[in-house]
Amino acid sequence: MDGSKVLPGKYKYLAQLNLNRALHRRKPIDMQSMQQKFDKHIFNFTKMDKREILFEILNKNRQHKGNYLAINVSPLELGHCLLLPAMYSCLPQVVTADGLLAAIELFLLTKSPAVRMGFNGLCAHASINHLHFHFFHLQQQMLLETVEVEHLAGPCYVLLSFPSQGFVFQLSKHTDIQEFVGNVFKLVSFLQDNEKPHNIFITRGSSFQEKSPNSVRDHVRVYIWARKPACEAKEDAMFYPALCEMFGQLLFRKRDDYETVTEEVIANIMTDLTKEPFQSVVDQVRRMFQNP
């Protein structure tokens, strides 16, 4: 990391300068559609150097799935890895129920609040059209670990007090994991079926019922943002607004942008990306969880 700072303001955005990632990241593939098929002829994770694979993840209570953890050759943070569910099934970058369950189970192997996971969907700054989740450490405590959210319906809540407006679910030690994953997958599937690009972020945080920023972070929060499409990565962009940026972690590729950015600029970008897409689906989502 070449620089890190919290921007002045109420949203506590974390700005990070990462020149190395800008230089060495694999060139993202342009995504033209949320229905884009897996293409074996272009780069995918079956073509990566086998030395990048750390290990296969096995669950003794479940049939062998071929889930792997691999290093990210252009990491955005400490310990940045990729979870590759059913890697050799060559699935496109669309969340599956099994893949989401594998992500949550991997996340639950540690209680550290520094561990984070996320997913960039098609047309939402996914760089490779092969099913994968990001898995990394971020030590900085973030506002969305404890921010207040509002109840929408059933297990679904909404984030309205942050420029990235979206949906959120919580997992406690009393929640059935299968039921929790089913509810999150229900919303993600709805967005995919309706061709609404989306980003997902998984973090530890306080209970939705706790009001203090010093609350114990003993729950899991899953944030889901419907957003405007991003079908190509613009080389002159200040940053790519993907899963980390929606959460409040801003990854800059140019020193000038990093040094001059303000909270107001970021808040305007995030509001523009998420407000209209959120409002276009929120009533349907409410009905979906009112009438399961």
> Using one digit for the tens of pLDDT, what is the confidence trace for 205-219?
999 988 776 778 899
Residue 90: the pLDDT is 97
Residue 42: the pLDDT is 92
- pLDDT of 25 > 70? The answer is no
167 phi-psi bin (left φ>0, alpha ψ -120 to 50, beta other): beta
Please classify residue 180 by burial: count the beta carbons closer than 10 Å to its beta carbon, then call 0-12 exposed, 13-18 middle and 19+ buried.
buried
- The SS3 of residue 4 is strand
Residue 103: the pLDDT is 97
**In this predicted structure, which of 25-29, 62-66, 211-215 has the lowest mean pLDDT?**
25-29
Residue 259: the pLDDT is 95
**In this structure, are residues 149 and 87 in contact, taking their beta carbons and an 8 Å threshold?**
no
Residue 59: the pLDDT is 83
Residue 22: the pLDDT is 54
Residues marked as catalytic: 132
pTM assigned to the model = 0.95
**In this predicted structure, which of 88-92, 117-121, 209-213 has the lowest mean pLDDT?**
209-213
- pLDDT of 74 > 90? The answer is no
Confidence of residue 181 (pLDDT cuts 50, 70, 90): very high
Residues in contact with 24: Cβ distance below 8 Å, sequence separation at least 6, in sequence order: 73, 74
- Rounded to the nearest integer, the mean pLDDT of the chain is 92
CA torsion sign for 274, 283, 176, 57 is: negative
- pLDDT of 67 > 90? The answer is yes
